[in-house]
Structure 1
Amino acid sequence: MFFLPKNLDNYIVAHSEDEPQILQDLARETHQKVLQPIMLSGPYQGRVLSMISHLKAPLRVLEIGTFTGYSALCIAEGMPANSELITIDINEELEDFAAGYFARFRESGNNNISITQKIGDATQLLPELEGTFDLVFIDADKPNYVNYFHLIMDKVQAGSLIISDNVLWHGKVVEDLNEKDKSTPVLLEYNKLLKEDPRLQTVLLSVRDGLTLSRVL
C-alpha cells in the first residue's frame, strides 16, 4: 500500500539503509511461494522496525503475527545478546518457512538471540505468557486488535513500546464504512484507544499502511 507517489516511495527506500540479504531472500521466496505477499513489512518499514529496535535494544519482544518471519528478523537485528523474541501466528503452514530463516539468522552470528514460535489463536495464547515485554509488535488479524490491546497491557511496563501495524488500513479509516467491513470499525476503535489511554504516549506514523508507536508511561 502506497500513500505517497511510487517514485517518491522508491526514493525514500533508496536513501535508507539497504535491506539485508537474508531479508531480500525471504521476501523473494515469500512472493514465489506464499499467498498475499503484501503482508510482508517490506524494505522501508522493515528498516524502520530495525531502527526502533536498535534504539530500544529490547531484551524481551512479543510479536503477534509472524507471517513468514520478516518483521521478526527486522526487530531481532536490534536485540542484544541473551534476549528473547516470542512470535505468535495462527497459520501452522508457515511455521517451517519462518523457522528456516530464523535458523539462518542465528547461524549468521546471532545465536545468542532466542526466537520462539507459537502456533495458535493469540487470544488464547497471550494469557499463558509470563513476565513483561520491552517491545510488542501487533500485526495480525485486524478484528482482534482491541482484544490484543487489552490482553497485552498487563504484559508491558513503563518504558515498553507497543508498535501497531496497518492502522490506516488502506485509507479506509477516513472513508465511509462498508457494512460488510469487519476490520475498519475495530481499527477506528483501536486507534481511539491508543490515543486516549492515559497509560500511553502515542504517535501515528504514515509509514506504509500506518504504523503507531505507543510508549507505556
Structure 2
Amino acid sequence: MDTKTTEKTATSKTDEVAAGTSAEAAEAAGTTQDAGTTQDAGTTQDAGTAAEAGTVEDTAAELLDAPDDELDGGLDGELDGEEALSPEATGIGAAAAAVVSAALSAVALTGTWTGKVVAERETLIGQIKTSAGGTPAQQINEIYGDAWHSTALVNGVFALLAVIVGVLVLTLPRRPLWVRAVAVAGAVLGGLGLLLSVGTYFDLFLSLPTTGS
C-alpha cells in the first residue's frame, strides 16, 4: 500500500516538474519572439530613415547637377521682377505727370472751352439782369466784368493745378533729367498763368471801362 502511495507521489512530482519546465520553455519562447519583433521594428525604422536620407541626397545631387542655364534663368527672372519694382521702372507715372503739368499750364495761358462757356453764361445772366433797366455802369459790370472775371477764375484754377503737379514731380527723387525739365517748365508756366489770372480777376492789368471815357 505504501509502495503505491509513494509511486503516485513520485509521479505527481514528476508531472509538476514537467509542467513547470514546459511553462518556463513557453515563457522563454515568448520572450524570444518579442525580442525578434522589436528587432524587426527597429530594422524597419532604420530602413525608413535610410530611405529618407537617400531621398534628400538624391535631391541635393539633382540640384548640384542642374544646368547652369536653368539656374541663370531663374536668377534673371528674379532680377527682372526686382527691376520692375525699382524706382527707375516706375518713372512712367512721373513722366506723365510732368507732361500733364506742362499741358495744364499751356491751357491756363491760352484759355479753355470751360472758361468760354462760363463767360458766356455770365454775359447772358448780365443781360437778363439789366434788360429791365439799368445804368451803363451796371450793364458794363454785369455783362462784361463778370464774364472776364469768370474766365480769369477758370484759367487760374488750371494754372494752380499745373503748379501743384509740377512741384510734386520735382520732389520725387531719382527722376530722369528730361522729366525734371518738363516739370520745371510746367511749374514756371503755371505760375505765370496764375499770376495773369489773379491780375485779371482783380483788374490789376486792365480795368473795366467807365461811362465817362
TM-score range, shorter chain: under 0.3
The structure with the larger Rg is 2
Q: Which has the higher strand share?
A: 1
Structure number having the greater helix percentage: 2
